[in-house]
């Protein structure tokens, strides 16, 4: 059954957002003596040291909290609207949880959300790695800056980042007592409130606390049950302490908590899954579990006795309606704390980052979106992680050498209770997970001359993965079998030798409730690799820089935790590797009023970890090799002190060079397009500030973004693709004379000027 998700933010138009702020940050422009506008310098920490964006020779997009707020970017998944070659889906479809996500940068990412598979893009909050994709779709509360680094980044970050990294930096406590209040209201009964208070205890002991809540009605109506899907209801808070006992030491402690308790992911029926045999639906149709073939044009054409078990396009109610009846739930709760301690010695700086996080979540979904029990899933998962990172850095050789070395340790424990009711019974496909990772990494930059700099880096990683399957038939259960699994006219259980009867002409076996799929024993795998990077940067002038880089990325293998039939060994998949070549430039032009940054790249991507359905279970395969080429171009132009024009353009050409036999047998060919890789992405924003006679300001703004056609599965099924779409957001903000009150009237996902708003985002 094909289903699709409606995106949480893009599906509805939001109106009327207002806020009052007691403390506001500095504006994004400055003015030269002659009076024309100059771009403000942006300081980033992409290379683990504070430096100008224009001096950093890598492809990185950086946004301050104010710039994101101006463009109505309020959560991580909306970063797609302002970042070329970033794909950030707010739902991992099979998770059934509104806090899950799928992140891709330059075509590299991961769709699987279980703890047996690692994300392809690293998400970091205050340099702490978030190990799971569930929880990655976060709201921006007390944000200072976001940096999006494209390409492998392993020589500076604690955990592997094969596709890129999203580095989120929170705001540190203010030196004066004060705070802000942010109130928003909008369509679908949207109600948001955020309060932040800075409370300095002394000159060197600062604290801040933030609390926020969000509510919004759902937008997918379940016709037969009367409830709604896709609603928002969350509560969260954050507390931070900054202690600087001496001029050369600091301690930054943060703790956060988030709880979301919502109705369920916005899943609706979108077609019949008959294009990928063998799968559940073909199995059911062939063997008569459903009384009507999948090709039946309408259930109404059948005898009344068959209609109750009929699957057809009749269940395609509307893009915002569903006939599903299985109980759904989206629950997410997490808390975490981290301590960053820094010491500046005479010749070296030392930083220690110690962090712990705990998470539990539930995702219950009616995957077929019909009243029938065809495919339902429910995940009840827990996860906790501990990490310790040490960074040592310094400057030597008359300030010509800038170096950093790091040590990293990570440990994770997780449980997955994966309950799966299907038409042929009910089974559990969960298990326990224990992962750990150790790494040594380093990078140094040497100034060969005043304008030429060489950077070299290396990383050694070892990761150990362990999985204990807890997988069994909850009820009497039928599953497809191969001829090799049959002996003497019966099905032979692969590890206990018991025999079970065949059904439907010998193509299925029937096992009683309680039958184990696998021995409940720990399986262990270890992976290690050494990766390198090199970068050469040359300053043509004080405002124009060219660079070229080579970087390698590594992501470890793991276990396939989704299994729908008995076996002896849990199937594994191997690590994937990426090698990226990049040429880029950074330029400040037109007397400093235009900032233009760009890069072209090629990535050789090996042993891709792709999800393909086998016996209706999503299985991770190593797909083969691909080549990804593309470019990014980003600009900010302030031709006058009142006018600002920002934008970006991304292009990706991804193609398979070779495919493994298992992928070809599933129907994937080298002519297929890689999933989650739109060829073209673009954005443009224009704002103009009017100075009113009262001394206040009025700033209208319009932002446009575009994403090209994209497939969401390796088979390129058109039922679940996403056609190209535009998003237009508009706002008008008013600010009082002393910049303490800001009122905004805003609308998102508008459709005018020939553009069509995004109606729905399809997915598996």
Q: For 582-607, what is each residue's pLDDT tens digit?
A: 999 999 999 999 999 999 999 999 99
CB 419 within 8 A of CB 470: no
Provide the pLDDT confidence category of residue 296 given band limits of 50, 70 and 90.
low
- Nearest 5 degrees, angle CA 417-CA 419-CA 424? 155
Provide the pLDDT confidence category of residue 278 given band limits of 50, 70 and 90.
very low
Return the pLDDT at 666: 78
Of the candidates 471, 356, 476, the residue with the CA atom closest to the CA atom of residue 416: 471
Using DSSP bridges, classify how beta strands 128-130 and 122-125 pair: parallel, antiparallel or unpaired.
antiparallel
Helix (H) or strand (E) holding 698: strand 697-707
CB 593 within 8 A of CB 38: yes
Top-confidence residue, 200 or 717? 200
Return the pLDDT at 40: 78
Q: Quick one: what percent of the chain has pLDDT higher than 70?
A: 87
- Residue 613, Cα to own-chain centre: how many angstroms? 22
Of the candidates 149, 153, 158, 210, the residue with the CA atom closest to the CA atom of residue 179: 210
Return the pLDDT at 17: 36
Residues 6+ apart with CB under 8 A from 121: 103, 104, 105, 108, 109, 110, 161, 163, 164, 165, 166
Residue 356's alpha-carbon distances to 388, 398, 433, 668, in angstroms, are 9, 39, 17, 41
Return the pLDDT at 198: 95
Provide the pLDDT confidence category of residue 265 given band limits of 50, 70 and 90.
confident
Return the pLDDT at 157: 86
Top-confidence residue, 302 or 570? 570
d(C-alpha 430, C-alpha 408), whole Å: 29
Of the candidates 622, 631, 683, 625, the residue with the CA atom closest to the CA atom of residue 653: 631
d(C-alpha 66, C-alpha 70), whole Å: 6
Return the pLDDT at 687: 95
Q: Quick one: what percent of the chain has pLDDT higher than 90?
A: 56
Top-confidence residue, 305 or 40? 40
Top-confidence residue, 34 or 365? 365
Judge whether residue 312 has pLDDT over 80: no
Kindly list the structural domains of the chain, giving each domain's residue range(s) and its CATH number in brackets, ordered by start.
3-271+316-476+512-762 (2.40.170.20), 272-315 (no CATH)
Phi-psi region of 245 (alpha: psi -120 to 50; beta: other; left: phi over 0): alpha
Main-chain dihedrals φ then ψ at residue 526, nearest 5 degrees: -125, 145
Return the pLDDT at 371: 83
Return the pLDDT at 360: 96
Judge whether residue 21 has pLDDT over 80: no
Q: Whose structure tokens read 């002659």? A: 34
Rg (CA), the chain: 27
For residues 277-303, give the mean pLDDT. Answer: 49
Of the candidates 46, 42, 76, 56, the residue with the CA atom closest to the CA atom of residue 149: 46
- Listed range (335-339, 432-436, 488-492, 719-723) with the worst mean pLDDT: 719-723
Range among 73-77, 361-365, 369-373 with highest mean pLDDT value: 361-365
- 3 state DSSP class of 664: helix
Return the pLDDT at 121: 93
**Preceding amide of 297 cis, omega within 30:** no
Return the pLDDT at 333: 95
């Amino acid at each position: 059954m094909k289903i699709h998700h409606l995106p949480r933010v893009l599906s509805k138009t939001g109106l009327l957002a207002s806020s009052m702020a007691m403390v506001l940050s500095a504006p994004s422009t400055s003015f030269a003596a002659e009076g024309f506008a100059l771009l403000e310098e942006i300081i980033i920490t992409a290379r683990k040291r504070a430096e100008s964006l224009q001096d950093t020779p890598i492809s990185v997009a950086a946004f301050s909290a104010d710039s994101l707020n101006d463009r109505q970017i309020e959560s991580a998944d909306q970063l797609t609207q302002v970042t070329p070659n970033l794909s950030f889906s707010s739902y991992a479809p099979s998770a059934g949880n509104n806090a899950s996500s799928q992140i891709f940068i330059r075509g590299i990412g991961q769709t699987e959300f279980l703890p047996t598979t690692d994300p392809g893009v690293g998400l970091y909050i205050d340099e702490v790695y978030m190990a799971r994709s569930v929880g990655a779709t976060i709201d921006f509360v007390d944000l200072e800056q976001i940096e999006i680094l494209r390409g492998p980044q392993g020589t500076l970050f604690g955990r592997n980042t094969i596709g890129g990294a999203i580095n989120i930096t929170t705001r540190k406590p203010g030196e004066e007592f004060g705070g802000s209040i942010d109130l928003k209201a909008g369509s679908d009964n949207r109600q948001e409130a955020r309060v932040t208070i800075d409370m300095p205890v002394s000159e060197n002991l600062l604290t801040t606390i933030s609390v926020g809540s969000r509510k919004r009605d759902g937008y997918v109506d379940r016709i037969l049950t009367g409830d709604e899907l896709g609603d928002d209801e969350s509560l969260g808070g954050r507390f931070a302490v900054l202690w600087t006992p001496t001029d050369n030491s600091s301690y930054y402690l943060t703790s956060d908590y988030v709880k979301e308790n919502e109705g369920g992911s916005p899943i609706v029926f979108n077609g019949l899954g008959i294009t990928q045999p063998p799968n559940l639906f073909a199995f059911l149709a062939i063997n008569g579990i459903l009384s009507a073939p999948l090709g039946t044009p309408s259930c109404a054409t059948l005898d009344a006795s068959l209609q109750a078990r009929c699957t057809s396009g009749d269940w395609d109610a509307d893009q915002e309606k569903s006939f599903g009846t299985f109980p759904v739930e989206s629950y997410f709760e997490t808390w975490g704390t981290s301590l960053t301690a820094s010491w500046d010695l005479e010749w070296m700086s030392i930083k220690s980052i110690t962090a712990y996080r705990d998470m539990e979540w539930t995702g219950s979904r009616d995957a077929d979106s019909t009243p029938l029990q065809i495919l339902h899933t429910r995940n009840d998962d827990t996860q906790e992680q501990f990490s310790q990172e040490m960074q040592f850095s310094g400057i030597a050789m008359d300030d010509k050498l800038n170096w950093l070395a790091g040590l990293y340790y990570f440990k994770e424990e997780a449980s997955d209770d994966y309950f799966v009711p299907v038409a042929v019974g009910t089974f559990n496909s969960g298990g326990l997970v224990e992962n750990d990772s150790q790494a040594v990494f380093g990078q140094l930059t040497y100034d060969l001359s005043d304008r030429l700099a060489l950077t070299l880096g290396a990383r050694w990683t070892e990761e150990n993965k362990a999985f204990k399957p807890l997988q069994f038939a909850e009820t009497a259960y039928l599953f497809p079998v191969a001829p090799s699994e049959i002996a003497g006219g019966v099905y032979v259980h692969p590890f206990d030798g018991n025999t079970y009867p065949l059904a439907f002409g010998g193509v299925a076996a029937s096992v009683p409730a309680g039958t184990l799929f696998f021995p409940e024993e720990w399986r262990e795998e270890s992976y290690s690799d050494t990766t390198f990077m090199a970068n050469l940067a040359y300053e043509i002038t004080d405002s124009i820089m060219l660079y070229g880089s080579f970087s390698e990325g590594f992501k470890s293998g793991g276990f396939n935790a989704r299994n729908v039939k008995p076996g002896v060994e849990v199937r594994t998949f191997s690590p994937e590797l990426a090698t990226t070549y990049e040429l880029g430039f950074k330029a400040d032009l037109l007397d400093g009023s235009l900032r233009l940054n760009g890069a072209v790249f090629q990535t050789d991507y090996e042993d891709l970890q792709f999800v393909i359905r086998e016996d209706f279970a999503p299985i991770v395969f190593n797909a083969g090799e691909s080549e990804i080429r593309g470019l990014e171009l980003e600009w900010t132009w302030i031709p006058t002190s009142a006018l600002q024009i920002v934008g970006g353009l991304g292009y990706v050409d991804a193609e398979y060079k070779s495919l493994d036999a298992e992928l070809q047998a599933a129907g994937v060919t080298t002519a297929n397009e890689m999933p989650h890789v739109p060829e073209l992405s673009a954005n443009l924003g224009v704002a103009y500030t009017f100075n009113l006679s009262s001394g206040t300001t009025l700033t209208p703004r319009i932002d446009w973004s575009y994403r090209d056609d994209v497939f969401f599965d390796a088979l390129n099924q058109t039922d679940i693709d996403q056609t190209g779409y535009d998003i237009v957001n508009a706002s008008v903000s008013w600010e009082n004379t002393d910049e303490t009150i800001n009122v905004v009237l805003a609308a998102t996902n508008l459709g005018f000027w020939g553009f069509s708003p995004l109606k729905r985002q399809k997915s598996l």
